[in-house]
Structure 1
């Protein structure tokens, strides 16, 4: 077997090490391309381009304000929260519980269900009533989640009031206990699935929001595109309007006004009338 002399082997090793060092320096000087540049191996060509994330902030109907800094919490408060105890809130809990009940009442008593059933071709049933109600409850939850701890506290009691109302209505309609339990279970699953779909839709373009409405409100049975268009426009303008309401007033009074389903100038925002309240939360 032929063996290289020791000097030749040493020169080859030094030459290889020098080439690796030079290559490393070149790579360090090249700019970072990020996810937009697909990885390619030498001698091969990339036929498919990498998918880029598309966001359009002009379509967002929630508040486009910078994320608020997390409020400072003391060590004892963090300890209580870790142990599962309720944390102190800015406003009286009893007032906010009343405000949560009033906000849910606004979602039920200030909605023209007959107009929704007629224009959206929905059957006049308990399930259709619940689908329309949960859409407005979701819009309230989106708004109140912007108010920090107090808003999350209100969200809990809004949902609690909704399930109590659904159970009471099912009892009045004469649904027996077994079927009522099964119905409540199905509604609960559909409710949380709808919340996720609506959240994705309101932060995306109109096609995603229309798909969420088609799945949850119309139960995949809408054959008229005009109905979906009407509901997408309704949700967009409603979210724009409810975002203009004062957060403190919502936490203390729960008063929510809804814009009509059909109106001539849907782009305009009505002047908000601030509600009045007293120390008793009434």
Structure 2
């Protein structure tokens, strides 16, 4: 398994940018293991999944750790959490077509307004919000990360987990919408792997990535619990996102980035909990803007 990752990751890492999917038009999804059953599944440990799935590749940008224009990580993500819902007049909102006139009648006959159709559309918009946060260069520069397949995949898992966790707070409805979200995420990852040139043994690859996904979300769920150790979330973030193969502890520069991301994750968890059900189910929310958080070194 490890040798297969080593052979494939050079081609994956050469991806300069990853093409986004048009999820408004592409509703085809591939389901392997229902997210609703994840809590009952025996997930692999982070150590096991990382040993199998992470190649030897640097993730910290040394220049960013030493330059005088370094981002002031210690000043980030201390503000009070607030709802992430978009304002009613926000141009970023995506509204449902009104059920009126001939068009509304036809859409109704085509089950456009059925619960399942609305859930699928909502899940597509939610995933667009995830892509909007993960595919922007600023998230990599803010946390001193190099954009590789590994880091992008790890950030996709993290932000998908944030949304799935919030949706589960809404009970059965939220879990059902979370299943659609997971399937869309899964299809996106499969396309990313395929477009990176990994066509042979693709099914095996996807099963391995699925194990990593479940190992990650189980670890995040445990680390965010009130009874978890104070530094548990930092340790999980380090292992899942920042760690090089074989590096057990972060150096000083990496430690500051890990601490900043830990604050970011805790703040997003709180912000999402303050975000109302309608905004979550329709996807009319945005993750915290990193532009507003990034401050150059020396800023007071």
TM-score by length of 2: 0.53
Deviations 1:187-211 (A, max 9, x none): 1111101101101111135401111
Kindly state the Cα deviation for residue 262 of structure 1 after the two structures are TM-superposed: 6.5
For residue 36 of structure 2, what is the aligned residue in structure 1? none
* Residue of 194, 199, 222 corresponding to 1:176: 199
CA change 1:262–1:213 in 2 (3 A) is farther
- Unaligned ranges ≥5, structure 2: 1-80, 82-113, 295-300
Number of corresponding residues? 176
CA change 1:219–1:264 in 2 (3 A) is closer
* Residue of 191, 202, 207 corresponding to 1:185: 207
Instruction: Please state whether the residue corresponding to 2:170 is helix, strand or coil.
Output: helix
For residue 139 of structure 1, what is the aligned residue in structure 2? 162
Kindly state the Cα deviation for residue 145 of structure 1 after the two structures are TM-superposed: 0.2
Aligned counterparts of 1:211 and 1:150: Cα–Cα separation in 2: 32
Greater relative CO (CA pairs within 8 A, separation 6+): 2
CA change 1:103–1:264 in 2 (3 A) is closer
Aligned counterparts of 2:241 and 2:224: Cα–Cα separation in 1: 15
Aligned counterparts of 1:130 and 1:264: Cα–Cα separation in 2: 23
- Unaligned ranges ≥5, structure 1: 1-60, 62-90, 266-282
Deviations 1:224-251 (A, max 9, x none): 2101111011011111111111113322
Matched, 1:245 2:275: yes
Whether the aligned pair in 2 keeps the contact of 1:110 and 1:258 (CA below 8 Å) is: yes
Instruction: Please state whether the residue corresponding to 1:209 is helix, strand or coil.
Output: helix
Whether the aligned pair in 2 keeps the contact of 1:234 and 1:261 (CA below 8 Å) is: no
TM-score by length of 1: 0.57
* Residue of 246, 266, 270 corresponding to 1:236: 266
For residue 200 of structure 1, what is the aligned residue in structure 2? 222
Aligned counterparts of 2:133 and 2:293: Cα–Cα separation in 1: 20
Aligned counterparts of 1:146 and 1:134: Cα–Cα separation in 2: 19
Larger Rg: 1
